[in-house]
Structure 1
Amino acid sequence: MIDLHYWPTPNGKKVTILLEELEIPYRIVPCHIGRGDQFEPEFLRISPNNRMPALVDHDPPGGGDPVSVFESGAIMMYLAEKHGRFLPADLRGRYEAIQWVMWQMANQGPKSGERGHFARAPESAGDLTYARRRFDDEVHRLYGVLNNRLYDRPYIAGEAYTIADMISYPWTVGWKQQGIDLDEFRYFKRWFEELSARPAVERGMAVTAGPAEDPASLTPEEQERRRKLLYNQRARPAPAA
């Protein structure tokens, strides 16, 4: 059985899409990142960067103790390798896909996340004109990278649908909020519409982690606790010897 420590964000949904495509059983372990579950000691043992998702495989290849994996790209490569699907076996095809998994982890995800962060920042944060313009432009550039990649091939890694497609898709479903005009990127739009219609993608995107929380239900004290916990994080001290 697979345990997926999860919250329904784009990074979490990458993995649920793959799990649904693989049609294997898995269990969602909610990791409420707004509440701060990612800082709990038991979670940090499997995800030392205090970020979800994290995976624990209780039936790893070859048997033995459970295997834990953190970082969504590493999780997807692990699952694809274990089940022999969605990651080409030949050297060229394999690295065609892997380099785009790395592209997503290093570029699309972080830059889209920073764009969202600065777009939501309150005016009390000061003049954010430069930051907002920089990440607006960078997200637009990255849609262009995908569009140019897809103009002469059906999928990001070539002729086959792979984890490179699954890992990139969830960060594009918010294209409207990101200020993107899909008609400007017609090759990307074709790919996006095809993936959106896949039943496993629909199922993976719909995975939840329990009932939604009403922010208005939080006390002022809890709101302040979360602000201190989640924002302006610095290094955590190492455990005492």
Structure 2
Amino acid sequence: MIDLYTWTTPNGRKVSILLEELGIDYNVHAINIGKDEQHAPEFLKISPNNKIPAIVDHEAGISLMESGAIMWYLAEKHGRFLPEGQAARAEVMQWLMWQMGGFGPMAGQAHHFLHFNPGKAAYAEERFGAEVKRLYSVLDKQLEGRDHVCGEYSIADMACWPWVSRYEWQQIDLADYPNVRAWYQRLRARDAVQKGYHVPKVMGDIPEG
């Protein structure tokens, strides 16, 4: 059994979407980061960096933090959403790292300055707004002629999609990125994506794109 510690953020939704796609049983523990529950001593034993998501795999006797590491672990353990060939696996890892190291952090900064604190830092708004647009262009080019980021549906898609779902917070018009928009809507229609999006609780409708 898997225990998932999470909240309604893109990083949290990455893992809950994967768990739903895998169709395995898991227990959900809501960690309300708005109430600083991520700093509780009990949670820090599982996630020393006081960030969600985190999991405990009781079968394996392991706890993990960092959404990308969790996704890689679960995909490998269950033999799904990760190609078998070395080159194909490396491509998925490449785009997972792209999301972890670039797309997610830059989109998060855009949320902070453009959505939550508009008008407070013009340079930051311009800097992160421009970088997010550049990253959307990178993803749009990658998706040209493809249904999914790496050809077959994989953890790379599940890692990127929740961040795109907050395109409005980033002041992004998906019409400017037609390949991203089509891909976003394609994944949005999946039952597991819809279920995973609403973990640990429903926070309104999923943006249509």
Q: TM-score range by the shorter chain?
A: over 0.9
2:38 and 2:52 in contact (8 A); partners too: yes
1:100 aligns with: 95
Is 1:49 equivalent to 2:41 in the alignment? no
Superposed, which structure 2 residues align to 1:1-241 within 5 Å? 1-60=1-60, 66-119=61-114, 120-121=116-117, 127-158=120-151, 160-209=152-201
1:154 and 1:191 in contact (8 A); partners too: yes
| Residue-by-residue CA offset, 1:35-90 (whole Å, 9 max, x unaligned) | 11111222112211110100000112xxxxx2101000000001000100001121
1:87 and 1:94 in contact (8 A); partners too: yes
Counterpart Cα distance in 2 of 1:101 and 1:85: 15
Counterpart Cα distance in 2 of 1:210 and 1:191: 23
Structure 1 runs of 4+ with >2 Å offset: 208-212
> 1:122 Cα deviation (Å)?
6.6
1:30 and 1:210 in contact (8 A); partners too: no
1:29 and 1:209 in contact (8 A); partners too: no
- Greater shift in the superposed pair: 28-37 or 114-123: 114-123
Counterpart Cα distance in 1 of 2:166 and 2:139: 15
Counterpart Cα distance in 1 of 2:28 and 2:92: 27
Gaps of 5+ in 1: 61-65, 213-241
SS at match of 2:35: coil
For residues 211 and 202 of structure 1, do their structure 2 counterparts lie closer, same or farther at Cα, with a shift above 3 Å needed? Answer: closer
Gaps of 5+ in 2: 205-209
User: Rg larger in 1 or in 2?
Assistant: 1
> 1:211 Cα deviation (Å)?
9.3
1:28 and 1:209 in contact (8 A); partners too: no
Q: Which amino acid aligns with 1:31?
A: I
Please, what is the CA RMSD of the aligned residues?
A: 1.7
SS at match of 1:157: coil
TM-score by structure 2 length? 0.92
| Overall identity of the aligned pairs, in % | 50
> 1:30 Cα deviation (Å)?
1.3
